[in-house]
Structure 1
Amino acid sequence: MAMEKGEKVAEKKSLKSSYHYLMTHLFTFCFVPLMAVIVIKASRLSPDEILQLWLQLQSHKVSVMVCVTLLVFGSTVYFLTRPRPVYLVDFACYRPPSHLKVQFDRFMKHSTLMGHFNESSLGFQRKILERSGLGEETYVPEAMQYIPPRPSMEAAREEAEQVMFGALDILFKNTNLNPNHIGVLVVNCSLFNPTPSLAAMIVNKYKLRGNIKSYNLGGMGCSAGVIAIDLAKDMLQVHRNTYAVVVSTENITQNWYFGNDKSMLIPNCLFRMGGAAVLLSNKGGDRRRAKYKLLHTVRTHRGADDTAFHCVYQKQDGVGKTGVSLSKDLMAIAGGALKANITTLGPLVLPISEQLLFFFTLVAKKLFNAKVKPYIPDFKLAFNHFCIHAGGRGVIDELERNLQLLPLHVEASRMTLHRFGNTSSSSIWYELAYTEAKGRMKKGNRVWQIAFGSGFKCNSSVWEAMKHVKPSPNSPWEDCIDKYPVQILA
């Protein structure tokens, strides 16, 4: 019985593989025979027949000229209006110093000594830590290492400078880029928005030029990294021959919750220190040295729905202490946002074979009321690597199940969560760095970065590797890529 079931599964997979191969090469199967017929037919024309064809074209000279003119005009318009390619030259992720590591026991000892949390809250935090997927080497800012903690505006600025400047220093060193050549700067940090802005802090530190186009994105959650890439991409369509730098981070120092509302304690256990800097270019000369080419960005916003809007919400608890509350409906809302996002992304990236299967299943269900399960497209046919926002173990588990991914596809996300925790919008870059460090990024490979954020949003970016990518110097995974056994992924 088991053998029969196995044979049926194998037969089903074989039929599906044959179907995908046929649909993928359908154009070739049709085009090659057609061209062969045309060539054979043309080879049989006599000199008189060829001359007669030429005379017929001469008699329709006006029509031919009009067609040629329209063709030249259309080609000119196309080349002038087509989107400029956007290249990712390199990126850098910040790895904090080792003295900022916080083990579970130390975390719980500090939480106890603070005196802010009751026994129920302390037990809840330990339970979250044990189930979170985080390891013992994630990082917490300096100000939160003291008893009692010392959160302040000055300490928050110091954390921001440490992370942003640390990532940028590595980026500038690896790319030999003169900071004065940067034309566009986009910085995103959801919860810490000082005046002057974080973008202004970078301009001041590196003495960037006076006509730089700088933007500071706040309050947009963990998916703001993709939003920042999308904004930089649009700016590079307008401003020719320039560089854009995107800095993605989150600030922990002033956003620790010191109350006993359990929905607001979860961020304390998951969010950790980190940040990334990305160098983008629209210069044709950077094509050879670039790591990736940006193919698509897709943004989905569910903020019109009240439940989605409030599922990740910064507020004060009953005694006036500020924190970020996570709703119990978060995973269901994230699933709906994901569905909306891939509905837009699918036609852009999926092979025609998958699109047809999805379309026919939808028609059968909607028009004929057929009792068929909704077809989930196989995104493994479109992407080689997946960078799923390391928001928590539950987020990664849910996407692995919904997208029918293999453990290998979510390895980068699980390892990033284990080693660095939830670094918010920068987590997708730690994951890409992990894939590079493992030597898995080959020329032509496609990468899907997908992240969720407050609002509620689900955003995607798609990249294509321009070459066999090697890890950059000072990678966050340097010296530790093989340190952790695969068993921790279970």
Structure 2
Amino acid sequence: MKYVKLGYHYLMAHLLTFCLIPLMAIVVFEASRLNPKDIHQLWLQIQCNIVSVITCSAFLVLVGIVHFMTRPRPVYLIDFACYLPPSELKVPFEKFMKHSKLTGDFDESSLEFQRKILERSGLGEETYFPEAMHAIPPRLTMLSAREEAEQVIFGALDILFKNTNFNPKDIGILVVNCSLFNPTPSLSAMIVNKYKLRSNIKTFNLGGMGCSAEVIALDIVKDMLQVHRNTYGVVVSTENITQNWYFGNNKSMLIPNCLFRMGCSAVLLSNKSGDRQRQPKYKLLHLVRIHSGVDDSAYRCAYQQQDSVGKTGVSLNKDLKSIAGKALKANITILGPLVLPISEQLLFFFNLVVNKLSIEKVKPYIPDFKLAFNHFCIHAGGRGVIDEMEKSLGLLPENVEASRMTLHRFGNTSSSSIWYELAYTEAKGKMRKGNRVWQIAFGSGFKCNSVVWEAVKHVKPSPNNPWDDCILKYPVDY
């Protein structure tokens, strides 16, 4: 059956070629039967209709010019960087549990619950907490939260600018996203002040968008690059731990404590296709966003609130998996026709028709997205999220390796996690020219967003890749 399916996909992929070869043979055969007198007569007919020929040619040229002027401008990813915190900020499980006992009002049940979550989470022993959270008691001040933000954001941007030899004053568009920490002045203003960016820069600061905010930020830059010619856009994605630790005993609000860790990514985008000094790594192909917030259960499945004693945290609903599954289905319904080969689209359509017409429902056909993408970067939200995605999309263990290893090494770094995963793929030397990458993320609200890139060259890992010091020991079993 495997080889029958492979043969079917090969046939559909080359169907046009198989149809054109006989047609071309017929044309060549008929042309060979023409004598010089017939060819001369055809030339005379063309001369008699020279006005029509010129008019048609001019119309085709005009259509070509209009298409060239109005087509969407390509968006290129020049490079990206992920912040690697210093080793003294690592938080092994035992240190996590020790600090939980000393710094919170957790009862024994809550402490045991956190231990079980850690053991089942898929996180390793080398994830990071900000410096303020290592103190006893933790320094939960605005100053400490700003220090964390500055450390990770400036750290990622410094690496990006160094690797690309990029002058920050060339940035025309800046989008920063951090869901739970939104000071005044904003984080985008903090970056403008640090790097002395130009006064006419277009800046945006996104808050409350959850772990899918990176793709939302990319969408904003993509649209802005359609308007502003020959410019650069930068997207910075992070989350702030310092002021968002939960110190109560509500089980659904304790889960984020165990999963979220310190991290940040910075991405440099451009609409300058001829920028030879900074040859891009990837070209943006597709971006699809789904928002299911109209449904009350979806809206409240990841909800920041106070518990019964007034302590603030983010509550994760038990229906989160099923809600994420519905959002994913809506997303791939739009994305599928854009990326899947015609063979998979026909199988999906045939299955849909059979389900509509038959009395007994047949099993829904799940398109094989492995035929559309070479690499998958699934948001490292937790072990359960990755397991469910692997099962739902029919992926292989190697397809979710980058996501699992990112969760193990860095934890859930929120919206930046998909870039740690792409950095892992590059560090493994797997990214070849023409490879397609699917980055997909879920966020509160509830949102499911995905973006597709195509490698424009054989991609090597950039200097200061966050996996430089440990890539040889991955993948690991856990």
* TM-score exceeds 0.5: yes
Map of 1:424 onto structure 2? 414
CA contact (8 A) 1:297 1:462 kept: yes
Number of the residue aligned with 1:31: 20
Show the counterpart of 2:191. 202
Query: Match of 1:3?
Result: none
Find the partner of 1:454 among 434, 437, 444: 444
Report SS of the residue matched to 1:254. Answer: coil
Which residue of structure 1 aligns with residue 282 of structure 2? 292
Contact 2:379 2:403 in 1 (8 A): yes
- Structure 2: distance between partners of 1:153 and 1:120: 31
Q: Give the alignment of 1:167-186 within 5 angstroms.
A: 167-186=156-175
Q: Does structure 1 residue 78 correspond to structure 2 residue 67? A: yes
Contact kept, 8 Å, 2:104 with 2:248, in 1: the verdict is no
Amino acid of the structure 2 residue aligned with 1:408 = E
Please, which of 245, 253, 263 is the counterpart of residue 264 of structure 1?
253
* Other-structure match for 2:307: 317
- Letter paired with 1:197: S
Partner of 2:235: helix, strand, or coil?
strand
1:402 aligns with 2:389: no
Q: Quick one: distance in 2 between partners of 1:327 and 1:60?
A: 73
CA distance in 2, matches of 1:185, 1:127: 40
Q: Deviations over 1:171-197 (max 9, x none)?
A: 000000001111111111111111111
Q: Please tell me whether residue 233 in structure 1 is matched to residue 242 in structure 2.
A: no
Q: TM-score, normalized by length of structure 1? A: 0.96
The question of 1:141 aligning with 2:130 is answered yes
CA separation in 2, counterparts of 1:39 and 1:178? Answer: 58
| TM-score relative to the length of structure 2 | 0.98
Determine the C-alpha separation between the residues in 2 that align with 1:86 and 1:484. 32
Q: Report if aligned partners of 1:87, 1:286 keep a CA contact under 8 Å in 2.
A: no
Runs of 4+ in 1 over 6 A off after TM superposition: none
Structure 1 window deviating more from structure 2 (290-299 vs 69-78): it is: 69-78
Unpaired stretches in structure 1, ≥5 consecutive residues? 1-11
The worse-fitting range, judged by mean Cα deviation, of 362-371 and 180-189 is 362-371
CA distance in 2 between counterparts of 1:282 and 1:485 reads: 36
Counterpart residue identity of residue 82, structure 2? C
* Other-structure match for 1:129: 118
Q: Which amino acid aligns with 2:249?
A: N
Q: State the Cα distance separating 1:484 from its structure 2 match.
A: 4.0
1:55 CA displacement: 2.1
> How many residues are matched?
477
Q: 1:95 aligned to 2:84?
A: yes
> 1:154 is aligned with what amino acid?
L
- Aligned counterparts of 2:368 and 2:273: Cα–Cα separation in 1: 34
Aligned with residue 380 of structure 1, among 370, 377, 399: 370
Query: What displacement does 1:52 show?
Result: 1.2
Look up the equivalent residue of 2:473 and give its one-letter code: K
1:154 to 143, 148, 160: 143
Q: Is the 8 A contact 1:387 1:431 kept in 2?
A: yes
Give the deviation of 1:57 after TM superposition. 2.5
Correspondent of 2:205 among 216, 220, 234: 216
Distance in 2, matches of 1:289 and 1:429, equals 19
For 2:309 and 2:388, the matched residues in 1 are separated by: 34
Structure 1 residue 286: Cα displacement: 2.9
Q: Contact 1:259/1:317 (CA < 8 Å) preserved in 2?
A: yes
Q: Work out the CA distance in 1 between the residues paired with 2:47 and 2:203.
A: 59
Give the Å deviation of 1:383.
0.4
Which secondary structure state, in structure 1, belongs to the residue aligned with residue 183 of structure 2?
coil
Question: Are the equivalent residues in 1 in contact too, given 2:401–2:475 (CA < 8 A)?
Answer: no
SS state at 2:243 partner = helix
> Residue 405 of structure 2 contacts residue 475 of structure 2 at CA under 8 Å; is this kept in 1?
no
Q: Does the 8 A contact of 1:316 with 1:323 survive in 2?
A: yes
Does residue 113 of structure 2 align to residue 119 of structure 1?
no
Q: Deviations over 1:421-457 (max 9, x none)?
A: 0000000000000000001111111000000000000
Give, in whole Å, the separation in 2 of the partners of 1:463 and 1:152.
Answer: 39
Query: What's the CA shift for 1:372?
Result: 1.3
State how far apart, in whole Å, the 2-side matches of 1:479 and 1:134 are.
18
- Matched residue, 1:354: 344
User: Which residue number in structure 2 is paired with residue 339 of structure 1?
Assistant: 329
Instruction: Provide the residue aligned with 2:237 in structure 1.
Output: 248
CA distance in 1, matches of 2:443, 2:475: 30
SS of the equivalent of 1:364 reads helix
Query: Deviation at 1:486?
Result: 3.0
Residues 294-314 of structure 1: CA deviation (Å, up to 9, x unaligned): 100000110111110000001
CA contact (8 A) 2:377 2:418 kept: yes
CA contact (8 A) 2:91 2:125 kept: yes
Deviations 1:78-112 (A, max 9, x none): 10111111111100000001111001001000000
Aligned amino acid, residue 466 of structure 1:
V
Cα separation, 2, equivalents of 1:485 and 1:197: 38
Q: Percent identity?
A: 78
